[in-house]
Homo-oligomer: A and B are copies of this chain.
Amino acid sequence: MSKTEEQGEDLPALVDPTLTRDLPSTPRGIRTRASLVAAARTVFERDGFIDSRLTDITKEAQCSTGTFYTYFDSKEEALAAVLHEAQEDMLHPGPPQGHHKDRSVVESLEAGNRAYVEAYKRNAKLMLLLEQVAAVDPKFRRLRLDRGRAFAQRNCRWIKKLQDEGFADPSLDPVMSASALSLMVGRMAYFKYALEEPDWGTDDLLVETATKLWVNALGIPADGSRRT
């Protein structure tokens, strides 16, 4: 088993366990906590983390401020919980990926990018939020980093395989290339979906352009043939 694959097994936790506390056991507790997380997401997405007030969250969740501290040690931890909820969706954005026989290499790459971008789009407000706190707080920086790594590592394994099979330029460092190209897609999605900058065309165009650049960058022949 290669080191790369070992890393794959070892996906880092997206949420630092030191940020969370035990989940409540009673049904009422579970319900209250859930409403608080939902309220927090609403408020955070609307006002941003810094400009959000705890009272707005508890008002939205229809409970008292004291109750908030029954479930979270701080505002920060509530954000961690919100991001934790989105974690699943971001990491497993769709049906199991893989290089199926009946799919060309390019098609597989495109499917991966599309899945990533669509997941980003679904959670765009949250991603904007994550950028805000990551820019200031190392704890959340770590969160963002881990999320990026999960995407990059998946891509890294692909690149290695493509290199092994003679499709991709073997002179590229697979780790750094995967990181760089993953960052590129992540940043494109950030500008289009989180910041809602225009000029990034349709969803399809974004994915197609990203994929084309990616394919070219990896030196994959356009005709699907092996490099000579």
Contacts and interface: CB of A to CB of B under 8 A. Distances in A.
Interface stretch (A14-22, A93-101, A193-201): A193-201
A6 B133 CA distance: 38
B181 A213 contact: yes
Nearest to A131: B135
A175 B199 contact: yes
Contacts of A200: 176, 179
A169 interface: yes
A135 B191 CA distance: 11
A188 interface: yes
Interface string A209-228: 11011101111000000000
A187 to B, nearest CB: 4
Counted per complex, copies of this chain come to 4
B145 A197 contact: yes
Contacts of A205: 173, 176
Contact of A219 (B128, B181, B188, B216): B216
Chain A residues touching B, majority SS = helix
A52 interface: no
A183 interface: yes
Given A50-B136, A181-B184, 14 more contacts: A132-B135, A134-B135, A135-B136, A172-B212, A173-B201, A175-B199, A180-B209, A180-B213, A181-B213, A183-B184, A184-B184, A186-B187, A216-B217, A216-B219
28 contacts: A48-B136, A50-B136, A128-B135, A131-B135, A132-B135, A132-B136, A134-B135, A135-B136, A145-B197, A171-B212, A172-B209, A173-B201, A176-B205, A177-B209, A179-B188, A179-B199, A180-B184, A180-B187, A180-B210, A183-B187, A183-B188, A183-B191, A184-B184, A184-B187, A216-B216, A216-B217, A216-B218, A217-B217
Interface of A: 48, 50, 128, 131-132, 134-136, 141, 145, 169, 171-173, 175-177, 179-181, 183-184, 186-188, 191, 195, 197, 199-201, 205-206, 209-210, 212-214, 216-219
